[in-house]
Amino acid sequence: MPRKEIVGKVVSNKMDKTVVVAVETRFPHPKYEKPIVKTKKFKAHDGDNKCQIGDIVRIQECRPISKEKTWLVTEITGRVHQQLGLAEESN
């Protein structure tokens, strides 16, 4: 049986070797057909601490690593680009 893979956005990287990934699910309301967005957060293992807040990552289901961590970051698909000092000092 293949392992589940989902794509989400990193919302926190404050913990050591762990990131919190928010995954959005969009579906129409059963009666009114208005799109509904549900967000679920998953804790995923990031062994090298490479992920930054705002990155788009692919996570894969794995064995339990800790009480709440059962996902593993397999790939960083989109990087957030840090803006480097827009306000430069003029002398």
| Span 57-77, pLDDT tens digits | 999 999 999 999 999 999 999
For the chain, the structural domain boundaries read: 1-57
- The class that CATH gives domain 1-57 is mainly beta
DSSP the chain: -PPPEEEEEEEE--STTEEEEEEEEEEE-TTT--EEEEEEEEEEE-TT----TT-EEEEEE-S-SSSSEEEEEEEEEEPPPPP--SS----
What pLDDT sits at residue 73?
A: 97
pTM of the entire structure? 0.83
How does residue 85 score in pLDDT terms, banded at 50, 70 and 90?
A: very low
